[in-house]
Amino acid sequence: MSTKPSSLIYVTLIWAYNLLQCLLDELLSPTPPSPNTKLRNPRIAVIGAGLTGVSSAAHVVGHGFDVTLFESGSRDQLGGIWSVAREHDLGASINSFMYRFHPHVRWESGYPKQRIIVDQITAIWEDYNLEGKTRFNTSVTSVTPVKSKTQPRPMWLINNEKSFGEFDGIIAAVGACGDVKKPHLDDEEKFKGEIVHSTELGEVDGKGKRIIIIGGEASAVEALEFTSKAKAKETIILARSERGLSLAAL
Ligand SMILES: *[C@@H]1O[C@H](CO)[C@@H](O)[C@H](O)[C@H]1NC(C)=O
């Protein structure tokens, strides 16, 4: 019996990658507090239960401090932008080796897909017992400094709501990719074709069409991949600069 050298190298690399991930986790992940550990001050509010919010909250409790995680969406939105169901096969566009938002993540592939990313975020949320510390369906509309009754320094109130408690610090983890922003184009009502946002690409049929992509950053590169897969007749990109596109060419 013989094993092909290439597959042997592959298996060895995967094995080494897993070993490295275990080591990183062991060395760098703060130990999750047990459910009955009394967490101490300072108390931190984290706004947004996406990838950054969940990993920040995990670090906060891992170091023994109390946290409340505020998420405007429901439980389904744990994972933030990654939790948004999209029809096209979305995934990380950089290698998982560099996509290490918390040392506790364990990747099994080079370019993890959306579902796997949400699973990893959820695993961190569960392993650090953040469930009881997360307020879903709670949109943060104001953060106000108040004179504290218990602390000598000013504290923060969220939405002026005393029942949430006072916070020593706030971590805003709302990200740059919130609700879809689609600028209005002059006379767009008169345009006979379809106008779609890059998040809606899974819903359109591009075959044989002439398509204009507006913008030259990461989403434009994704859109270009889409038009090429969809066998569009012609694709034109209107970009202010070639920065995003030249990065994609690397
Ligand atoms: C939040 O709101 C949704 C819909 O309004 C509801 O289904 C859900 O049970 C609420 N709570 C959580 C924790 O998601």
Question: Rounded to an integer, what distance in angstroms lies between the CA atom of residue 82 and that of residue 117?
Answer: 7
Beta pairing, strands 210-214 & 169-172: unpaired
- pLDDT tens for the chain, 250 residues long, are 455 667 888 888 888 888 888 888 888 778 888 777 777 778 999 999 998 999 999 999 998 899 999 999 999 989 888 887 554 566 776 777 777 788 888 877 777 888 888 999 999 999 999 999 999 999 999 999 998 888 888 899 999 999 999 999 999 999 876 667 788 889 999 999 999 888 788 788 999 999 999 988 888 888 998 999 999 999 999 988 877 666 665 5
Residues 64, 99 share a domain? yes
Assess contact for 114 and 82: CB atoms under 8 A: yes
Nearest in space to 44 (alpha carbons), one of 217, 145, 171: 171
Pair (112, 236) in one structural domain = no
Same domain, 152 and 202: no
| d(CA 77, ligand 1 centre) in Å | 10
What region, left, alpha or beta, does residue 188 occupy, with left being phi > 0 and alpha being psi -120 to 50 degrees? alpha
Contacts of 123 (CB under 8 A, 6+ apart): 104
Position 181 in a domain: no
Instruction: Give the total number of structural domains in the chain.
Output: 2
CA distance linking residue 84 with residue 112, whole number of Å: 16
The residue whose CA is least distant from atom 6 of ligand 1 is 74
What distance in angstroms lies between residue 120's CA and the mean position of ligand 1's atoms? 22
Answer yes or no: is the C-beta of 101 below 6 A from any ligand 1 atom. no
Instruction: Give 167 Cα–ligand 1 centroid separation in angstroms.
Output: 25
**75 touches ligand 1 (CB under 6 Å):** yes
* Domain end point (choices 148, 172, 196): 172
* Whether the model pTM is above 0.85: no
Q: Which atom of ligand 1 is nearest to the CA of 75?
A: 14
Probe residue for ligand 1, chosen from 137, 138, 139 as the CB with the greatest number of ligand atoms within 8 Å: 137
**How many CB atoms within 10 Å of residue 117?**
23
In a domain? residue 227: yes
Domain that holds residue 237: 188-249
